[in-house]
Amino acid sequence: MRVPLITGNWKMNTMVSEAIELSNEMRSGLDEIDGVDKVICPPFISLATVYKLIKGSSIKLGAQNMYFESKGAFTGEISPIMLAELCQFVIIGHSERRQYFGESGEIINKKVKAALKVGLKPILCIGEKLEDNEAARTEKVVIRQLELALAGVGNLTGLVIAYEPIWAIGTGRAATGEEANEIIGLIRCNLAKLYSKEATRSLQILYGGSVTAANSGEFIKQPEIDGALVGGASLDANQFLSIVRQTAEIKG
Ligand code: PEP
């Protein structure tokens, strides 16, 4: 009942010319694949250009971050209503934002609420550090992150969650499909207690962390995993297409 979702997080990569090239390389191939939600998240500076290039296709656009205020004296920031002109999705609380830019649970909560208010779908990232994983604290950590991020959020409509163990991001050391499936199952169970079982049945929860064309099938075939948030491999059109194709075959 849940449509699988594959999101490409291009991070701080691609000059505008490269973003154009990558979008063009992906457009027709991605557009031919049905039954999977496909989202690409280029850097802010390329959003308007990529928006025009993918307009009319089934590819959706996402941003990698945003501020929670709608306008004003916040030099350097981009607001939810600005993004909503171009994007349907926004990544919120990525571990790189938490780690390098000091984003707290409180800030992430404000961003989630602000995104939902303007109809942007937050892809809310949660995940544990290696030491938490090794000390069997994963469930505790991710549930706490969720409680903080979702404080005052009345329902789960419009929300996507990405479980991204920090030790797996950009390291080439992915979780196993079974490990990720177990944690995502626990996330769904805990959210069912906070919201309702019905609400969590339709909630898309993704795995992220060193997903490639070679290992994506292992995650996608898991019943609790609804897709992937792909970093490095989303910069390679062939790999990204292959991940989306495999998802359509496995979940279709
Ligand atoms: C990410 O950016 O969210 C990510 C999971 O990166 P990578 O796929 O490169 O590990």
Quick check: is 164 catalytic? yes
Q: How far is CA 158 from the centre of its chain?
A: 13
- Phi and psi at 32, nearest 5°, equal -75, -15
* Residue of 14, 169, 236, 243 to mutate, ligand 1, most atoms within 8 A of C-beta: 169
| Residue 22, pLDDT score | 98
Residue nearest to atom 4 of ligand 1 (CA): 231
User: What separation in Å is there between the alpha carbon of 231 and the centre of ligand 1?
Assistant: 3
For the domain 5-251, what is the CATH superfamily, name and number? Aldolase class I (3.20.20.70)
- Boundaries of every domain in the chain: 5-251
What is the residue-wise DSSP string for 99-116?
Answer: HHH---HHHHHHHHHHHH
- Rounded CA separation 25/195 (Å): 41
- Could you list the pLDDT tens digit for every one of the 252 residues in the chain? 799 999 999 999 999 999 999 999 999 999 999 999 999 999 999 999 999 999 999 999 999 999 999 999 999 999 999 999 999 999 999 999 999 999 999 999 999 999 999 999 999 999 999 999 999 999 999 999 999 999 999 999 999 999 999 999 999 999 999 999 999 999 999 999 999 999 999 999 999 999 999 999 999 999 999 999 999 999 999 999 999 999 999 998
SS3 129: coil
Nearest CA to ligand 1 atom 6: 231
Return the residue matching tokens 């942007």: 120
What pTM did the predictor assign? 0.97
Contact 107, 121 (CB under 8 A): no
* Residue 93 CA: distances (Å) to CA of 19, 69, 75: 23, 16, 20
Asked if 108 and 144 touch (Cβ cutoff 8 Å), the reply is no
CA of 190 to the centre of ligand 1 (A): 25
Type and span of the H or E element at 163: strand 160-163
Max Cα distance, the chain (Å): 48
Classify burial at 84, counting beta carbons within 10 Å of its beta carbon; exposed 0-12, middle 13-18, buried 19 or more: middle
* Residue whose CA is at the smallest distance from ligand 1 atom 7: 231
Question: How far is it, in rounded angstroms, from Cα 11 to Cα 5?
Answer: 18
179 carries an active-site annotation: no
